[in-house]
Amino acid sequence: MATAEKETVIYAKINEEVIQSLERPTWRYWLLIGSLLGVIGLGALAYFYQVMVGMGVANINHPVGWGVYIVNFVFWVGIAHSGTLISAILYLFRVRWRTAIYRAAEAMTVFAVMTAGLFPLIHLGRVWVMYWLLPYPNTRHLWPNFKSPLVWDVVAVTTYFTVSFLFFYLGLIPDIAAVRDRSTGLRRQIYGALALGWQNRYEQWRHYARAYVALACLATPLVISVHSVVSWDFAMSILPGWHTTIFPPYFVAGAIHSGLAMVITLLVPIRVWLRLQRLVTLEHFENMAKMLIFTGLIMTYSYATEAFTSYYSGNHFETSFSTWRATGTYAPLFWGMVVCNCLAPMLLFWKRVRTSIPWLLAISIAINIGMWLERFVLIVTSTAHDFLPSSWGTYTPSPVEIIITIASFAWFAFLFLLFAKHLPAVAISEMKEQVAE
């Protein structure tokens, strides 16, 4: 009985600790929200300028038709992946340390996909006919070309968003109910509606448990498939640097690398701000840092393999392209990417580094930058330097593209901030469950 006493006391503490983070925000929060909205507004203005004036205001043109917009798309879809990794795959493997951080990671997934999903639309010359991407009977008697990787992308990203959102929401239901039971007034009505009348009843739990496992099983293959599909956008073409079979695993590893770094970048400030230090501990960061070493090594191996296959292929276009990538116009970006993605994570081999929050934050930000550079280098260099020397060119983003890119980060931060302040950022009922075990 004594231990049982303790158990429910811990329950109450966890409940208290998480729900206190949802208390009325301070002016600093509103200031932050306001400034983020300002940046988003700027991005929206830039975008409307692009719609009114035309795609010419973006620097994408021949030969580089895929610029920063597509870079951002691939980057953000990649960020999403580690959220699903942590919430679904680590769940199925019963990794205990996942519980405290998975909610935040999952939210990151949903918001990253919401950010990523904007970019193909921003990239469209005529957004108003974007519904042409959907299969529906139309006056053209045309259907989407299901043999095209771009259409697979639409299907894959829609599925990914839907499934990760459902998974995220499913996990939230009991926790929103806990918040509902501790609040009053309008707040109670809103959380009450969101909790879908959850009553913690056995009749609900027994189906809930099944649904949760089912969704975890369904989300797991998506971690691998979605970025593989994104990589096919490139690998299915014939350009040197793109046309390789290594792309899908390489993209997935990169996605998880960047995503883990993003989780760390987000959790460091959030846990201080919401005073969750007792639930999200150094141990969690250390575990993620270890995973970063692993993915960092995979990235290094992939870069090496990529260079090797192009050399070993004996194909003149491939070899000269790889040489150009490492020595030509974009060489600084290329080497920046190698330093940030391969060398920086290696510092985490030292326990001193991986248990120091400032170091971790610095390294994770470096990896974020590195992964963005990687996407830029991958996407831009191949189109800039294809088979015909006469069609070589370079590309630098225009102000409109840069503003929209910055705004996308603000949009993501905005969504995440709203989530952290208004929804339980740590999985209450699962934390309790872990205590019970």
Partner 1 sequence: MDPEFIARWLPWLRRILGTSGALLGVAGVAVLVGMRLHPGPTQPIPFSHRLHAELKGISCLFCHSEVDRSAHPGMPPVEKCLLCHNVIIPEFEPIQVLHQAKREGKGVPWNRVNVVPDFVFFNHQIHVARGFDCGQCHGDIRNMDRVKQEHRFTMGFCVDCHKANQGPTNCQACHR
Partner 2 sequence: MTPTRPDNEAAPGPAGECPAPPRTGHWQLCAEFDSAEALHHAVLQVRDAGAREYEVCSPVLTHESLEAHMPRAGSRLHYISAFGGITGVSVGLAMCVLSSLLYGLWTGGKPPVNLVPFVVVGFECTILFAALFTVAGLVYFARLKPLAPPPDYRPGFSNDRYGLYVQCEPARKPAVAELLRAAGATEVIDCDAA
Burial (0-12, 13-18, 19+ Cβ within 10 Å), 136: exposed
The vertex-349 CA angle with 376 and 81, nearest 5°, equals 40
- Residue 142 binds ligand HEC, judged by CB under 6 A: yes
Two structure tokens written together for 151: 């259409």
Identity of the amino acid at 437: E
- Whether the CA torsion 232, 61, 117, 285 is positive or negative: it is positive
The three state secondary structure string of 387-428 is CCHHHCCCCCCCHHHHHHHHHHHHHHHHHHHHHHHHCCCCCH
Q: Minimum distance between the CB of residue 118 and partner 1, rounded to whole angstroms?
A: 28
- Residue 131 binds ligand HEC, judged by CB under 6 A: no
- 386 secondary structure, DSSP code: -
Taking a C-beta distance cutoff of 8 angstroms, is the pair 343, 286 a contact? no
Residue placing its CB nearer to partner 1 in the complex, 182 or 188: 188
- CA–CA separation, 111 vs 132, rounded Å? 25
- Of 34, 38, 53, 207, the residue at the interface with partner 2 (CB under 8 A) is 207
Burial (0-12, 13-18, 19+ Cβ within 10 Å), 23: exposed
- Scanning 116-124, 139-147, 157-165, 423-431 for contacts with ligand HEC by CB under 6 A, the matching segment is 139-147
- Scanning 79-87, 100-108, 185-193, 421-429 for contacts with partner 1 by CB under 8 A, the matching segment is 185-193
- Residue 26 binds partner 1, judged by CB under 8 A: no
Two structure tokens written together for 117: 């999903």
Query: 3-state DSSP call for residue 57?
Result: helix
Residue whose CB is nearest to ligand HEC in the complex, by number? 140
- Residue 193 binds partner 1, judged by CB under 8 A: yes
- Whether the CA torsion 408, 409, 412, 414 is positive or negative: it is negative
- Residue 272 binds ligand HEC, judged by CB under 6 A: no
Tell me how far CA of residue 227 lies from CA of 223, 249, 367, 368, in angstroms: 7, 9, 18, 17
- Residue 144 binds partner 1, judged by CB under 8 A: no
Phi, psi of 226 (to 5 degrees): -65, -50
Q: Minimum distance between the CB of residue 179 and partner 1, rounded to whole angstroms?
A: 15
- Scanning 23-31, 62-70, 151-159, 397-405 for contacts with partner 2 by CB under 8 A, the matching segment is 151-159
- Of 201, 245, 388, 389, the residue at the interface with partner 2 (CB under 8 A) is 201
Size of the site for ligand HEC (CB under 6 A): 3
- Residue 130 binds ligand HEC, judged by CB under 6 A: no
Residue placing its CB nearer to partner 2 in the complex, 192 or 328: 192
Q: Minimum distance between the CB of residue 168 and partner 2, rounded to whole angstroms?
A: 12
- Residue 139 binds ligand HEC, judged by CB under 6 A: yes
- Of 34, 135, 393, 399, the residue at the interface with partner 2 (CB under 8 A) is 135
Displacement of CA 252 from its chain's centroid (Å): 12
- CA–CA separation, 52 vs 69, rounded Å? 18
- Residue 184 binds partner 1, judged by CB under 8 A: no
Query: 3-state DSSP call for residue 258?
Result: helix
- Residue 1 binds partner 2, judged by CB under 8 A: yes
- Residue 20 binds partner 2, judged by CB under 8 A: no
- Whether the CA torsion 155, 157, 158, 163 is positive or negative: it is positive
Residue placing its CB nearer to partner 2 in the complex, 40 or 223: 223
- Residue 206 binds partner 1, judged by CB under 8 A: no
Per CB under 8 A, residues contacting partner 2 are 1, 4-5, 7-9, 11-12, 15, 135, 141-148, 151-152, 155-156, 158-159, 162-163, 166-167, 170, 173-174, 177-178, 180-182, 189, 192-194, 196-211, 214-215, 218-219, 221-222, 225, 229, 429-430, 432-433, 436
Q: Which positions lie near partner 1, rule CB under 8 A?
A: 138-142, 189, 192-193
